[in-house]
Amino acid sequence: LKVRSESFFFRCLVSALEITSSPTAPLEKASGQSVKLDCQFSLTSSDTGPLDIEWSLLASDNQINDQVVILYSGDRVYEDYYEPMKGRVHFNTPDPKSGDASINLTGLKSTDTGTYQCKVKKAPGIASKKMQLIVMVRPSKPKCTTEGTLEEGKDIVMRCSTTEGTKPMQYKWEKTSDSKLLPSSSVMDPVAGTINVKNVSTSASGSYRCVASNRVGSEECVLYLHVTPPHNTGGILAGSIIAVLLILLLLAIILYCFFRARKNKKYEKEICNEIKEDVPPPKSRVSSARSFSQMGSQRSSVGSMSPSNLHDYTLKSQYSMKSQYDKIPSTEEYDRPPSQVPLPPPTAARMAGPNLTRMGAIPVMTPAQNRDGSIV
């Protein structure tokens, strides 16, 4: 009898409070969206206790306690249990006693991802339901770039990448111009978002579009590819060599001019610092006066001579003048009185003495001159 009564009691508990919502697959939502976590229940006449409804976020680690999100107890709603969801979680109906314990989450964030449990208690009945929520982030606008030299015959890589987005992420490239076909030598990686093009040709030029997508959204970017013909490397190399040679030549000219100007400046400085010897001025006027006085005395003596003695006098005069001319006067001779200074030989008498004598001319002595034209 005791065994029968216990089995009847357990059958009553089973047929009491029950969650009527069907099991659901994991819910996938995008960040910023809203979601409804469904939890419908039914009561029987045997459930006579107070109604308690508790929603909690189960911890992924057994060492951490579950976090209560929202609570209904004693005909009162408590919504501010979990600070990160404050103001974003509400019961679906104002009166959950009607059998609807569902809640709504708004403004979803990636941190809202987890397993949620709905527990309904009305003594002696207890029922619960678990469901998984995955909050995914939409891909941010991708950035399309190229790597490598956009020159015919080279290898390039077209890359598409996003900074935000929940994985798994898929990338798809397509050409939107000309034949709308990707280059024949291209290899696309839909996970990494790259296209490797070997030995690219000019026909690969055009516009391309990359679409980054996951299960909650997609974004795209556009890339324009312009492949140029190969450059004339020989001409560039020759031009570079010529430019270097011209620069070296210009530097050599500048250095040559600099050292030459420096040498000339040094030479002028040495000339300016050279000490010259002082030369005493010639006493030409005194000597000239003495010569003229001697010439006058000799002229008077010659005029008193007879023609017979003129020839002998001329020869003697030439001989004496020649000897005196050949003798270079010293500084002491210049300082002697006029009577002691020897008379220099006249140039005209020395050159044409015999001829003048034959013609019956009277020899006249011409005063000698120094280098600067002064009479000595």
DSSP states along 218-236: EEEEEEEE-PBPPP-HHHH
Across the chain, mean pLDDT equals: 77
- For residues 256 and 354, the model is more confident at 256
Which residues are CB-contacts of 15 (< 8 A; sequence separation ≥ 6)?
A: 44
Look at the domain 143-225 and name its fold. Answer: Immunoglobulin-like (2.60.40)
Q: How far is CA 298 from CA 16, 180, 293, 345, in A?
A: 180, 132, 9, 12
What's the fold here for domain 18-136?
Immunoglobulin-like (2.60.40)
20: Cα within 13 Å, side-chain hemisphere: 11
- CATH 2.60.40.10 domain extents, the chain: 18-136, 143-225
Task: Express as a percent the part of the chain with pLDDT over 90.
Answer: 43
pLDDT at 215 over 60: yes
Lowest average pLDDT, out of 150-159, 227-236, 287-296, goes to 287-296
pLDDT of residue 311: 52
Residue 158: both structure tokens together: 């077209």
Residue 340 phi/psi, 5-degree rounding, is -95, -15
Query: Which tokens hold the place of 164?
Result: 């935000």
Model confidence over 143-172: pLDDT tens digits? 999 999 999 999 999 999 999 998 889 999
CA atoms within 13 A on the CB side of 233: 2
Euclidean distance between CA atoms 106 and 274, whole angstroms:
104
CB atoms within 10 A of CB 120: 26
Residue type, 215: R
Confidence of residue 57 (pLDDT cuts 50, 70, 90): very high
Dihedral, CA of residue 85, residue 87, residue 91 and residue 93, to nearest 10? -160
Average pLDDT (215-243) is: 85
End-to-end CA distance of the chain: 179
pLDDT by residue (tens digit) across 292-327?
445 444 544 444 454 445 455 454 555 455 444 444
3-state SS of 55-122? EEEECCCCCCCCEEEEEEECCCEECCCCHHHCCCEEECCCCHHHCECCEEECCCCHHHCEEEEEEEEE
